[in-house]
Chain A
């Protein structure tokens, strides 16, 4: 007989144990089982449920993973072919064969039978207990699976000399079993685990009785369910949390400080914190398709509750929208957002703690000097539209190709009033900044930044580039600073501050043909996976080198590991994040798309 490895046997045994308790009551629990089978999950969980999550169709997920195109791609890779020769792989396949032979079911059937009806987990505030409920997708086969599991457990228990390892405790016609913490039971299609017996009792009562004090009666839960898509867009998993209760319990205290201590964090997430401060509940849903993975988090949003200091995030009417991002060739990442920076800094004392506010006051005065003595917040930031973009793009190199190839980056802003004076002040501030960078560079062994003024498609380009030492021997592996040729482009009301001359010009060309429309979203982030992959390929040598140092790998091993990683990442097509405050709901959506055509 083939020997089953110890670890694998433990996994099989725990699986069996999960199914085991039903053996003795297969015939007796028919009545409670039939009643329980008619109950939905919200009819079983108590109304005091604080958090709930479910994987709605786990068997479909298993099926999708087994037949996923990525699997075929992986199987074609040399690393996979080497893996199938390892003892670990052979152990896994032996284990699967053992399970399939014993249960007389394929893995797909087994998944459907064991948990095809969903996997549900919840935390109850009243009993402070966790509950895990697993529902079978095929009640007829489930009975047979239970019988098989029963036999195996009996054999295993007898072999271990402990035939009474699992002693049933009958409760209303249901056999329940105690564990060191909590216990478990099976009723009809349900398998239930709890870490708190009181919660288990409540759930069993709800299965058998017609109780009204269940999650099904919760207005908030019903509202949350409405935010979850149905039909073909129905998520593979979703979760619900009662934010009000979590706040009352002080579980979110860390999130809601009176005043922020980080300007960057406030700028990025201040509005979200504001929403969560008042949200009665939040729901999250996960969509899994063959070529797409999506996560959406939603919560009710009441614009009237937004603190005045935080209006900068949403705009005064709470309809602040992001611009349509400029996306020149080679764009890796765009962040388009609505943020009224001037409004944020006007409320610096309300938003930030004393230290940050004092530091900002000092910086503000220096920045005002930079801009020719004009008030930095009112005259400079106040003259910028709240729509702004940040762009990162792959770059092409000229005289020197740096050893580490960084993406070029730019920030794109628009003036409310594009007067000559403001533009001139931006130009002089930029030139002053370049002089400071040059002074710093001289102290740190960098080449000199050569300044230049150019014209491009009607735009004024204030640019700079690092001088190349004619005697350099490192034209193909230059210093990291050769990634930069700091540039500012001014075109009509557009102000583009870019890390490279090339990207600034590309963005001017895009600005010329840009539409004036705005998105519905407050913020949109788009990542191009193909460009990202190309950038990693550009830096392959660096990645191999880092791998060699951090793992001590030789060249061959490091190449194998990095090439495997690059091969896997090339299937990422794109990533998107949208944040919107529409229709009285705040919604954050993340979508990753895959592409297996190559």
Chain B
């Protein structure tokens, strides 16, 4: 089947979005932006976004520092830098027992309370890209520091991120590259650097892997820290990707990122994560993003901003064209409904659905897309939603779902269904389905239970599986 995006004009596609009668800036558009750039928005945030307009909302996402507000949600700092510090200390404290399993709960907690959803979402993107699992690293502190590195560089230049990851103890342990001697260069990191992190298959040869591996000799882990052992570094001339010289690992990263394939590779992955999984963006739409990356020094934040503020992003071509990942399912539900829940239960549930954060399945990370859904996970996702809604620790707003609806003046079954659909669904549901949802919302029983049943019913719909 032909790619429906193939004939789109790239200039139009990446031009800044101007609301119009066909694509107005409304609740649905704001919710779409929040779901893609973050995990979701609650009703109050949607109202504010609609009132402020796209420019101000986008600006707030990319510069969320609000020093004037000393406290944000949950009593944490509203300033992302201060919040980051609080969370790192909290993380260290929780990892004091060395229990790596707590990492997942901690990160999900952070996603729930962060004042900077975009940063957290992009960190999750890089976690899937530089997939490193606590299951093998088995050291909570190293994983926490690895995670902090991803966050530190998430929306800035790509090269410093790759350089930091190349020295990251957790990554090197994960790729069995903690020891790298000149007599026996370890090819694992060199291979993944080119295949998975920067270029993609077909843009290097097996011999070039061997040569790049030589540049990383002497890069080792000692007492949980990176160290360069100059006696184990190969000082000879290495030849790869059209260059020759006595290169070290830093040089290798620079040379790899100079390749034309690098910005295309990263732009394609970013577009698949933020804009559209299916259909994938054709080369004609990727090329302008790659050029942007090359011209701005591989600044990821600028390209993400271009994507999230574009005509294409707000068009029907890509709305609801990404499969909701388990993290989006859990955190999205809670953020949209101002929810609080048992983070350990949440972490456990998401792992069962295939996305244990800090525990990617392999070095390629999560495949995403349609692989999130199969007959078993589809039922599991709905059960997971029910479990979270029914758990005694779960709270919504200042109380239950009924009081939350009450807070926003939502009365009656049709209004409740519309309200929930605005918060939770990226695509409208057919009229017959909506009628069924209204029946559930108006059935007998306590208001809280009725709303929970409606959300559960929504979570079984195909529309709910997309963002």
Which A residues form the contact surface with B (CB < 8 A)? 402-404, 445, 469, 471, 474, 477-480, 541-542, 545-546, 548-557, 559
| B395 adjacent to chain A (CB < 8 Å) | yes
Instruction: Assess whether B102 is in contact with A549, with CB atoms less than 8 Å apart.
Output: yes
Is the beta-carbon distance between A477 and B75 smaller than 8 angstroms? no
CB pair B109–A552 under 8 Å, yes or no, is yes
Q: A479 contacts B98, CB within 8 Å?
A: yes
Q: Which residues of A contact B346 (CB under 8 A)?
A: 552
- Interface bits B6-29 vs A (CB < 8 Å: 1, else 0): 000000000000000000000000
A330 and B269 alpha carbons, distance in the complex (Å): 58
- Smallest CB–CB gap between B141 and chain A, Å? 8
Q: Are A552 and B112 in contact (CB under 8 A)?
A: yes
Which residue of A479, A545, A559 contacts B94 across the interface (Cβ within 8 Å)? A545
Given A480-B96, A545-B94, A552 and B342 contact (CB-CB distance below 8 Å): yes
Shortest C-beta distance, A477 to chain B (Å), equals 5
Given known contacts A445-B224, A557-B75, A550 and B93 CB-to-CB distance under 8 angstroms? no
Given contacts A552-B112, A556-B74, 19 further A-B contacts (CB under 8 A): A402-B96, A403-B92, A403-B96, A404-B97, A469-B223, A474-B92, A477-B89, A542-B93, A546-B94, A548-B109, A549-B102, A550-B343, A550-B344, A551-B342, A552-B339, A552-B340, A555-B75, A557-B74, A559-B75
Q: Per a CB cutoff under 8 Å, which of B93, B339, B340 touches A545?
A: B93
Which of B73, B93, B97 is the one whose CB lies under 8 Å from A541? B93
CB-based nearest A residue for B74: A554
A550: B residues at CB distance < 8 A: 342-344, 393
Q: Which of A471, A477, A480, A554 contacts B340 (CB 8 A)?
A: A554
Is the Cβ of A552 less than 8 Å from the Cβ of B395?
yes
Interface string of B60-88 (1 = CB under 8 A from A): 00000000000001111000000000100
The docked-state distance in angstroms from the alpha carbon of A449 to that of B204 is 48
Total A-B pairs, Cβ < 8 A: 76
One of B76, B97, B106 near A549 (C-beta < 8 A) = B106
Chain B residues 315 to 346 lying within 8 A of chain A, measured CB to CB, are 334, 339-344, 346
Question: Cβ of A404: which chain B residues have Cβ within 8 Å of it?
Answer: 96-97
Residues on A with C-beta less than 8 A from B86 are 555
Task: Known contacts A469-B223, A479-B98, A557-B74; decide if A552 and B393 are in contact (CB<8 Å).
Answer: yes
Give CA–CA (A546, B394) in the complex, Å. 16
Q: Does B298 contact A (CB under 8 A)?
A: no
Q: How large is the interface on B (under 10, 10 to 19, 20 to 34, 35 or more residues)?
A: 35 or more
CB distance from B398 to the nearest CB of A (A): 11
5 closest A-B pairs by beta carbon, nearest first, are: A554-B74, A556-B75, A403-B96, A552-B340, A555-B75
A313 to B266, CA, bound (A): 71
Which residues on the A side are within 8 Å of B216 (C-beta)?
none
Question: Do A549 and B343 have beta carbons less than 8 Å apart?
Answer: yes
- Inter-chain contact A549/B105, CB cutoff 8 Å: yes
Assuming the contacts A402-B96, A445-B224, A542-B96, asked whether A551 and B393 have C-beta atoms less than 8 A apart, the reply is yes
Q: Tell me the smallest distance from the CB of B29 to a CB of chain A, in Å.
A: 29
A555 touching B98 in the complex, CB below 8 Å, given contacts A474-B92, A541-B93, A550-B343: no
Please name all residues of chain A whose beta carbon is closer than 8 Å to the beta carbon of B344 when the two chains form the complex.
549-550
What is the CA–CA distance of A228 and B395 in the complex, to the nearest angstrom? 49
Is the pair B92, A554 in contact by a Cβ cutoff of 8 Å?
no
Please give the distance in Å from A458's CB to the nearest CB on chain B. 37
Complex: A559 Cα to B71 Cα, angstroms = 15
Query: Contact at A552–B341, with CB atoms within 8 Å?
Result: yes
Among A403, A404, A552, the one with the most B-chain Cβ atoms within 10 Å of its Cβ is A552
CB distance from A491 to the nearest CB of B (A): 34
Taking CB as reference atom, which chain B residue is nearest A560?
Answer: B75
Whether A553 contacts B340 in the complex (CB less than 8 A), given A403-B93, A548-B109, comes out as yes
Q: Flag if B94 contacts A477 (CB, 8 Å).
A: no
Q: A557 to chain B: which residues have CB within 8 Å?
A: 74-75
Known: A469-B223, A548-B90, A549-B344. A555 touches B76 (CB 8 A): yes
CA distance A554 to B93 in the complex (A): 16
Q: B96 touching A477 by the CB < 8 A rule? A: yes
Cα distance A507–B411 when bound, in Å? 69
User: Please, could you name 13 A-B residue pairs with CB atoms under 8 Å apart, sorted by A?
Assistant: A403-B92, A403-B96, A445-B139, A478-B96, A480-B97, A542-B96, A546-B94, A549-B344, A550-B344, A552-B112, A552-B334, A552-B340, A552-B395
A-side contacts of B113, CB under 8 Å: 554
Identify the closest chain A residue to B102 (Cβ).
A549
Chain B residues with CB under 8 Å of A479's CB are: 96, 98, 141
The answer for the CA separation of A34 and B72 in the assembled complex, in Å, is 70
Complex-state Cα separation, A474 to B140, whole angstroms:
14
| Residue of B75, B342, B393 with most chain A CB atoms under a 10 A cut-off | B75
